[in-house]
Amino acid sequence: MRLQSVIRAIYPPQCVACDAQTEDDNGLCAVCWKDTQFIGGLVCNTCGTPLPGEDHGEVVQCDDCMTIARPWDTGRSVLVYNGVGRRLVLGLKHGDRTDLAPTAARWMAQKMANLALSDTIIAPVPLHWVRLARRRYNQSALLAQELGKAMNLPVCVDALLRPKRTNALEGHSRDARFAELSGAIIPNPKRAVQIVGRPVILVDDVMTSGATLAASAEAVRAAGATNVSIVTLARVVKDA
C-alpha cells in the first residue's frame, strides 16, 4: 500500500465545501458538485468568462475585454462566482480556510496547463500590509504557492508591492475601481531580476472588474515581464 493510500484510509477525503466524505479526487462531494459552476466550453481568452456558443478552438473575447484595457495577454478562471464557487472564495479570503488552497490550485493548474510558456514565474496579486496584518495571510499568495507546486513552476510571492492603501472596492462602479487602483501596485525593486525577460502568471482569488489584475499586470510589465497571463479561482459573471 502506498503512503498516499494509507493516509486516505485513515483520513477519508473530505469535500472542500462541506464536511461530507467524498470518494472523488476532485475535492467536492456529489451534492456540492451540483451546486458548483465549473467554467468550461467556450471562454473569453482574456478573462476566462464563459461565453455562449461552442468551442472550436478560435480565440474569442467577451464584451468587457473588448472595451476595457486589459494589459495582459491571456486569462482563465475555474469557477463562476456563485453558489459553492462564491463560498469557497469567501472561505479562503475571510474564513481562514487555507486548507482549500491545494485543491483550488490543482483546478487552476489544469486551466493553465496549455497557457504556461517555458521559464514562466508565478506571482500573486499583492495585499496592502495593513490588510495583510489583519487577515494574517494573502489568499492570492497562498494560491500562487500551491499553483507553483501543482505546475512545477517557481513562485515569487513578493514580486509586487501595494504601497497605497485602497478603499474596499465592493459595490463601487467599474470606473471607480479602476481609478482607485491606478498606481496602487508597483514592482518590488528587490525582485526585478526574477521578473525581467520572463513570462508571468498572475494569481488572484476572484476577478470582478479586473482593476486589481490590470494594475498588477502593468506592474509586472514595468518590471520587464515578456508575457502576462492571469488565473483566478472564480470569475464574477453578469446574471450568474
* Interface residues toward Zn ion, by CB under 5 A: 15, 17-18, 20, 29, 32, 44, 46-47, 49, 62, 65
Q: How far is the CB of 186 from Zn ion (least distance, A)?
A: 25
The answer to whether 124 and 143 are in contact (CB under 8 A) is yes
Instruction: State which residue, 103 or 138, has the beta carbon closest to Zn ion.
Output: 103
Q: Which residues, listed in sequence order, are joined to residue 160 by a DSSP beta bridge?
A: 187
Nearer to Zn ion, 63 or 119 (CB): 63
Residue 17 vs 143, nearer CB to Zn ion? 17
DSSP state, residue 170: T
Q: How far is the CB of 133 from Zn ion (least distance, A)?
A: 32
Write out the H or E segment, with its range, that includes residue 207: strand 199-207
Amino acid identity, residue 164? K
**Between 157 and 178, whose beta carbon lies closer to Zn ion?**
178
Reading the block at residue 193, the C-alpha cell is 531580476
Cell numbers given for 34: 451540483
Gyration radius from the chain CA atoms: 18
- Choose between 27 and 124: whose C-beta lies nearer to Zn ion: 27
Beta carbon of residue 70, minimum distance to Zn ion (angstroms, whole number):
7
Angstrom distances, CA of residue 97 to CA of 36, 80, 101, 152, 240:
18, 19, 8, 23, 24
Q: How far is the CB of 96 from Zn ion (least distance, A)?
A: 18
Q: Least distance from C-beta 35 to Zn ion, angstroms?
A: 8
